[in-house]
């Protein structure tokens, strides 16, 4: 009995000690927008991994997440996609109402080899739209030399679906552009990717139709809008979005400043 009494007394003493310790531990509370000292702060919003801005549909539930890669035809008037979308960026007219721009890389004058070397991974991409080749033609680089770079861009982005867009007419060397494009189209079909030619409005044989280009390389601002609307339809179709969205335009006209391409 004495031994049992001693054990009970020890247990009671230990419990009292724990209660005393517990009462001396300070309680930390966090108000909205704050975090306890030493705790990691969660980012308020996430930007694409390459630092480019997100599109206006970034918070839309169920939107098709789109990355874009290319040259000045994708970069827009600012010549760098990282400068943001403007009136001469086709994505300006494709985003919204089910299409979310989440990043990518584009620079005026760049070849697909340069794009492959510069592009960084982008998380959780539904559709990659890759439109490149004009500058390869300009520099005399044949498609056989460029093919591996298309594979490299796709491997870096790792999208669920790949859309490769035809290059526009190239008035300075139309025959060479046509040869490059035929090889590119065959390659895309071999890879099982989606091929699209959004330039029908601008083609007059192998050159730009009158009034559709200021320089025989880039479309007009109105042409960028038509390009964006065409690619939007392809994105929604490939991304598996409801048919009623295929006819929908952006939620609102983008507030952009006109810029030369």
Q: What is the pLDDT of residue 150?
A: 98
Q: What is the pLDDT of residues 225-246, one digit of tens each?
A: 999 999 999 999 999 864 444 4
Residue 129 forms beta bridges with which residues? 68, 163
Q: What angle do CA 224, 63, 228 make, to 5 degrees?
A: 5
Q: What is the pLDDT of residue 76?
A: 84
- Domain ranges, ordered by start, for the chain: 64-247
Answer yes or no: are the C-beta atoms of 167 and 227 closer than 8 Å. no
> What does residue 196 show for φ and ψ, rounded to 5 degrees?
-145, 145
Q: What is the pLDDT of residue 61?
A: 64
- Name the fold adopted by 64-247: Rossmann fold (3.40.50)
Q: Is the pLDDT of residue 121 over 70?
A: yes
Span of 13-27, 40-54, 92-106, 183-197 with lowest mean pLDDT:
40-54
């Amino acid at each position: 009995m004495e031994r049992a009494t001693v054990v009970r007394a020890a247990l009671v003493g230990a419990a009292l000690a724990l209660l005393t310790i517990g009462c001396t531990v300070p309680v930390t509370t966090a108000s909205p927008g704050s975090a306890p000292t030493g705790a990691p702060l969660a980012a308020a919003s996430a930007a694409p991994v390459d630092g480019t801005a997100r599109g206006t549909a970034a918070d839309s539930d169920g939107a098709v997440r789109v990355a874009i890669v290319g040259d000045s035809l994708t970069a827009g008037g600012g010549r760098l996609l990282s400068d943001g979308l403007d009136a001469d960026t086709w994505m300006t007219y494709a985003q919204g109402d089910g299409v979310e721009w989440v990043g990518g890389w584009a620079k005026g004058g760049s070849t697909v080899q340069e794009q492959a070397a510069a592009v960084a991974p982008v998380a959780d991409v539904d559709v990659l739209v890759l439109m490149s080749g004009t500058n390869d033609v300009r520099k005399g680089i044949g498609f056989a030399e460029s093919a591996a770079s298309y594979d490299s861009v796709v491997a870096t982005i790792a999208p669920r679906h790949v859309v490769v867009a035809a290059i526009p007419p190239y008035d300075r060397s139309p025959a060479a552009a046509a040869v490059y494009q035929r090889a590119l189209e065959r390659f895309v079909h071999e890879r099982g990717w989606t091929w699209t030619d959004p330039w029908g409005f601008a083609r007059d044989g192998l050159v730009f139709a009158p009034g559709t280009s200021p320089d025989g390389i880039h479309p007009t601002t109105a042409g960028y809008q038509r390009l964006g609307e065409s690619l939007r339809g392809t994105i929604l179709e490939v991304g598996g979005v409801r048919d009623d969205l295929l006819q929908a335009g952006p939620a609102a006209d983008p507030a952009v400043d006109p810029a030369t391409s």
